[in-house]
Amino acid sequence: MLIAVGFMHKCGLTHTDLKPENILLVNDESDIIKIKTEEHDDRSSTRSTSVEKIFYRPKFNKIKLIDMGGATYDDDYHSSIINTR
């Protein structure tokens, strides 16, 4: 993401609406990661349960920034006030 924002700044643009919804992965392939953990029962000091948690990690880290409608050039006026709609 820093590379994308850096490129925009080199072009003299400021993205004024950066948020997770405006960042897309270029490729949706992912690796499945399984991690086994022990969860202890708070009611008993001797009982614990083995739990397998599944996580999905993107295979590729390329992204696209979208929703450039609010982008401004560095020499244009843009308010320093955050607009949360």
Catalytic-labelled residue, pool 17, 28, 42, 76: 17
**Catalytic residue flag (residue 41):** no
Task: Please give the full DSSP string across the chain, using - where no structure is assigned.
Answer: -HHHHHHHHHTTEE-S--SGGGEEES---EEEEEEEEEEE-TT-SS-EEEEEEEEEEES---EEE--GGG-EETTS---SSPP--
Active site residues: 17
